[in-house]
Amino acid sequence: MRNEDTFLTDKNIQFESMIGFPVLVLLYLVLFFWIIGLLNSTTFVKRRKRLYKVMVIALKISVRVMSIIYLISGLIMISLVATNAFQHVITHFLAPVLVLLLTFDFSYFDFLVYLI
C-alpha cells in the first residue's frame, strides 16, 4: 500500500510493471473465458444456434491465439537464455585469444605492404 510518505524509484516502478502487466492480462483472459462460459450456458444463446456457433468459434480462436502467443513468448525466452548462456561460455575462450592478438608481432606481415 502506498501513501504520501513512500518514495518509488525507477527500479520499483519497473518491477511493478514487470509483475503487474502479466497478472492483468491473465485476469482479463480469465474474465473473458468466464463470461463466454456463462453466456454459452444461458437459454438465450442456446436457442439461437447461429449466436451459439459464433461464440464457440470466438472461444476456439481465442484459445488458439493465446496458445500461439504462449509458444512465441516461450521461443523468445529460450533464445534469450541461449544467447546469454552462449555469451557466458564464449567469454572464457575470448580472453586468451584477445591476449594472443594483443601480444602478436605483426611485423611478419610487412611484406604484404610491399605487394600492394
Three-state SS at 38: helix
Where are the domains positioned within the chain? 12-86
Q: Do the Cβ atoms of 33 and 59 come closer than 8 Å?
A: yes
Confidence grade of residue 16 (pLDDT, cut at 50, 70, 90): confident
Which pTM value belongs to this model?
Answer: 0.48
Confidence grade of residue 26 (pLDDT, cut at 50, 70, 90): confident
Grid cell at residue 6: 513512500
Q: State how far the Cα of 27 lies from the Cα of 31, in Å rounded to an integer.
A: 6
- Give the residue carrying C-alpha cell 482479463: 28
Q: State how far the Cα of 17 lies from the Cα of 8, in Å rounded to an integer.
A: 12
Per-residue pLDDT averaged across 24-35, rounded?
82
For the chain, the straight-line distance linking the first and the last C-alpha, in angstroms and rounded, comes to 73
pLDDT tens, position by position, 70-109: 888 888 889 888 888 887 777 766 666 656 566 666 666 6
